[in-house]
Structure 1
Amino acid sequence: MWLTGLLAAAALVLTAPRWLPARVVALRAKVFAKVNGDNAITFPNAQVGPERFQEVYGHPAANGRSRGAALSDLFWYWLSPGAEVHQEHLEAGPRYDDVARTTRALLSGPADELADAAARCAGRVLDELVTGRVTPVRLRDLMVPVWAEYCYELVFGEPCPRAARDLIAGHADDVVTALKCTGLRHPARRERLTRYLARRVAAGDVRRPLPASLSPAERVHYLQGTFFNTAVVQLSEAMAHLLLALAQHPEVADRLRRDPADDRYFAHVLDETLRLYPLFGIAHRITTGEIDLGGGTTFPEGTVLCFSYPDYHAAGHRDPGVFDPDRWARVPARAAHHIPFGVAANRPCPAWRLSPLALRAATAEVLRRFTLHSTVTHTRSLPNRGPCLLVRADGPPPRHLAALGAFLRVRDRWEDVWRSVVQLVLGTVMVLHARRLRLAGRYFETHDTAGCPPGHRPPDHRERAE
């Protein structure tokens, strides 16, 4: 009897990489679903299919950002400090308009200059950090310093010093690690970047005027959240997904390497990467009025609308789980269920123009130097940070490459077991802590619907011009 039990326990342990991570992910999903309570609705669903997804997403009444959603407390917790002035979380109104104008100004510039800066930053970091013939890396970790330097140049208009890059990269890593629930957040680490940016803002070093409707402290937090949190993290995640897809589809990488000037094919590869691995799992909006879709389908004011990018991107595609850039030669992006940068009617990503330019330039720098090889599991959330082997492209592949690939695969499977348990425990801890702090809820108890203190009227941009 004891031998049978021992064998059963051993079988459970040995097969854990196959079954445990999926079970834990499902349990985590249930934990996070309870954060919103009963007033959250996820799309697409039986009532609102993918054909009406963008209609609801872009509805004028689907424009609440943080006020009134329990989920906002969790996102503010992850993004703090300064979530109240983060562009994605500001409520509609003059403050948002002022901030959005500033963001567009800092992201603007000639296409060739934006691309050249990305290539320069990527080349500098790669030459510094990847020096071996065969180098094992975590792609997201490798890309964070690249985009830390790039975003620094966008904001300050000068090359990024190593000390500033380390502050930005440490901050971005802390945010994304907490978001993935693979580690707790460290407010002191984030505060170091806040203090640095405060000194630079006070000295007038930012290359564009900052929003006049924000206080000095809020301007610092605006830069920290929009550029040195979201921009760095999202560009790094996008690049990690793109390079990991190329590592696992060498024929696609070879085609890009042979013809780096083929903008159209790179666009197809990027579209397919962001279709299969969208940077957002769920985007939530709060209704500020009733939405009546007819046929008895009505969403009252205060409803939390959760838009599932993975489900929407999978709908209507043949073999949706297959990485196939050539599908975009057959199906125009405008005709597909595909919104990698959101929808135009509801605050699309302000970097929708810049991101493809920068990602293409950085990808060309990687492919010029290396071939990429990876055998790990590639998922949308990328909690493993993209383990990959970079092999110098100027010589034959090493004989032990297959053995290294087998090691990566086995290590990743077993890491996934431990990581999934860590995500469950730490995710639950942070959900409970965020609910206790109620950062968003408490903020809106003392601010009006636009997020302004009582009696405050943001200056009109025409007044500032005078």
Structure 2
Amino acid sequence: MAALGAGFALSAPYWLPKAVVALRVRAFAQVNGPGGVVVPGGQVGPDRFEELYAHPAANGRSRGAGLSDLFWYWLSPGPEVHQEHLEAGPLYDAVARTTSAILAGSSADLAATATRCAAAVLDGLPSGGTSGGMTSGGMTLVRLRDLMMQVWAEFFHELVFHDPCPPGVRGLITDNAADVVDSLKNTRLRHMDRRRRLTRYLLGRLAAGEVPHELPAGLATARDRAHYLQGTFFSTAVVQMSEAMAHLLLVLATEQDVQRRLAAHPDDDHDLGNVMNETLRMYPLFGIAHRITTADIDLGGGVAYPTGTVLCFDYPAYHASGWSDPQVFDPGRWDRVPARSAHHIPFGIAANRPCPAWRLAPLVMRAVTREVLRRFALHSSVSHTRSLPHRAPCLLVARGRPAPRGRRWAALAFLRLRDRWEDVGRSLVQFGLGLWMVRDARRQRLTERWFARQDAPAAPDARAAQDTPDGGEGHEVPGCPHSGR
């Protein structure tokens, strides 16, 4: 029995995380109830995935879906003005135009800004900190997602304010973004105090007239405008770009031939573009994107959905369809298959809430990748999954200071062993915290309560004074709301 128990315990890293993930998936599938429809699947296969996704009536975002309560909970404060969660209409259109304007710029200027921001963060690596610390032999152990969050905090601060990001503010932004994504991945509970510190900073900049962009008039209060900036640029943009870069760099850390080729030919946009396409195919930034039908949909051939159906578009399943070897990392496939005919929508569908950074993201990702490869060779031995809950541990070896092979192998063996056992504890934590947050989000009913207030007859002054959803915690903060930093 002792031997059986020891074998059971020692084998846990190989079976327990998968078992817990399966349980989490089953638990979260209950959030939407029987009205949720996963696509591709059932009536709609991969061949009609984009047709359904692009349908004009598949445009509801928050009203009427159990998943909305959960996402509003995770993205608080201010989910009601977050571009991704606004319903279609004049305010969504105005917010989308503003976001596009803030993200606009010449390719050369945007790439130069991204390179400069990456250099500023990478220059600070030897001093250690949360992203990593120097080891002997010119090696630095980092979590790539944490490292990249600092880069994108700098970058989006410059886009929004047209001035460099102060060191203390970089911390406010990364604390906020990390808290959002960690709660989304169920590795930690929310800490609204961390998020509100960034809100106070944004309120101060707005009060001082230091936002050089015209924000939508439909964002009626300073707090609405602060929450729009926070949710769009300093939560979603920082998180998504950090995840995208962590996936890309982790791929390079494990695909050594590809990394050497890109490092030797840094100006080869075509090769790097293929690597990025393949990375986002295998590790899409979106797992499930849900839409609520705002009218009946009839695609013909017996495919029909009534108003109010929650459509759950499964990006990983769609990206894996249509290929003979979907689990093989093969950048060369993009020279054999035209991108337009591939099952590949890394930035969504143009007809249905496309990602506002669809032009910006590839451009600045190339710039940051080149800056990283110019300075470091990357090595990693950890697992690579779409959700990336381990934040992508990686060994950076300074170019020109090659580490002894034995020392590097020892570091990689440590990473592999640590990753296996961290996965066991983390999967249990994710299961417990995930269930707790699902219950808490369902208890608070953020979207249901919000739309009930909007639909109720009320005088304009009364409606303007109503509290906005914040995960059950009011927006009031100590001190003057315009005290800035």
1:29 and 2:37 correspond: no
**TM-score w.r.t. structure 2 length?**
0.91
Aligned partner of 2:98 among 83, 99, 102: 102
1:443 and 2:450 correspond: yes
1:420 and 2:427 correspond: yes
Q: Distance in 2 between matches of 1:396 and 1:218?
A: 51
Q: What is the deviation of 1:455?
A: 11
1:263 and 2:269 correspond: yes
Residues 30-89 of structure 1 show CA distances to partners (whole Å, capped at 9, x for unaligned) of 111000000000010132110100001110000000000011000000000010010010
Identify unmatched segments of 5+ residues in structure 1. Answer: 458-466
Aligned residue for 1:313?
319
Aligned residue for 2:130?
none
Residues 304-351 of structure 1 show CA distances to partners (whole Å, capped at 9, x for unaligned) of 000000000000112101111111011111110000000011011000
Aligned partner of 2:38 among 37, 42, 53: 42
Percent identical residues: 63
Q: Which amino acid aligns with 2:148?
A: M
Residues 421-449 of structure 1 show CA distances to partners (whole Å, capped at 9, x for unaligned) of 00000000000000011111110111159
1:12 and 2:19 correspond: no
Identify unmatched segments of 5+ residues in structure 2. Answer: 128-133, 465-485
Aligned residue for 2:474?
none
Aligned residue for 1:461?
none
Q: Distance in 1 between matches of 2:125 and 2:324?
A: 40
Aligned residue for 1:117?
113
1:219 and 2:217 correspond: no
Aligned partner of 2:305 among 295, 299, 324: 299
Q: What is the deviation of 1:266?
A: 1.1
Q: Which amino acid aligns with 1:433?
A: D
Q: Which amino acid aligns with 2:285?
A: L
Aligned partner of 2:365 among 336, 341, 359: 359
Q: Distance in 2 between matches of 1:123 and 1:243?
A: 16
Residues 180-237 of structure 1 show CA distances to partners (whole Å, capped at 9, x for unaligned) of 1000000111000001100101111112111111122111100000000000000000
Aligned residue for 1:463?
none
Aligned partner of 1:187 among 181, 192, 197: 192
Q: Sort the Cα spacing of 1:423 and 1:456 in 2 relative to 1 into closer, same or farther, 3 A.
A: closer
Q: Sort the Cα spacing of 1:412 and 1:220 in 2 relative to 1 into closer, same or farther, 3 A.
A: same
Q: Sort the Cα spacing of 1:448 and 1:454 in 2 relative to 1 into closer, same or farther, 3 A.
A: farther
**TM-score w.r.t. structure 1 length?**
0.95
Report the secondary structure of 2:316's partner residue.
helix
Q: Which moved more, 1:396-405 or 1:41-50?
A: 396-405
Residues 242-288 of structure 1 show CA distances to partners (whole Å, capped at 9, x for unaligned) of 00000000111111111111111111111111000001100000000
Q: Distance in 1 between matches of 2:142 and 2:105?
A: 32
Residues 97-148 of structure 1 show CA distances to partners (whole Å, capped at 9, x for unaligned) of 1101110110001110000000000011011024631011110011111000
Which stretches of structure 1, 4 residues or longer, exceed 6 Å deviation after superposition?
Answer: 452-457
Conservation of the 8 A alpha-carbon contact between 1:58 and 1:345: yes
Q: Sort the Cα spacing of 1:262 and 1:73 in 2 relative to 1 into closer, same or farther, 3 A.
A: same
Q: Which amino acid aligns with 1:425?
A: G
Q: What is the deviation of 1:456?
A: 8.7
Q: Distance in 2 between matches of 1:360 and 1:185?
A: 32
Aligned residue for 1:67?
63
Q: Sort the Cα spacing of 1:361 and 1:290 in 2 relative to 1 into closer, same or farther, 3 A.
A: same
Aligned residue for 1:404?
411
Q: Distance in 2 between matches of 1:330 and 1:130?
A: 43
Q: Distance in 2 between matches of 1:455 and 1:422?
A: 42
Conservation of the 8 A alpha-carbon contact between 1:87 and 1:222: yes
Q: Which amino acid aligns with 2:425?
A: W
Q: Distance in 2 between matches of 1:373 and 1:86?
A: 37
Q: Distance in 1 between matches of 2:49 and 2:335?
A: 24
Q: Which amino acid aligns with 1:186?
A: H
Aligned partner of 1:327 among 333, 338, 342: 333
Report the secondary structure of 1:382's partner residue.
coil
Q: What is the deviation of 1:453?
A: 7.3
Q: What is the deviation of 1:301?
A: 0.3
Residues 337-379 of structure 1 show CA distances to partners (whole Å, capped at 9, x for unaligned) of 0000000110110000000111000000100000000000000
Q: What is the deviation of 1:293?
A: 1.7
Conservation of the 8 A alpha-carbon contact between 1:447 and 1:453: no
Aligned residue for 1:239?
245
Conservation of the 8 A alpha-carbon contact between 1:118 and 1:362: yes
Give the root-mean-square deviation of aligned CA atoms.
Answer: 1.6
1:248 and 2:254 correspond: yes
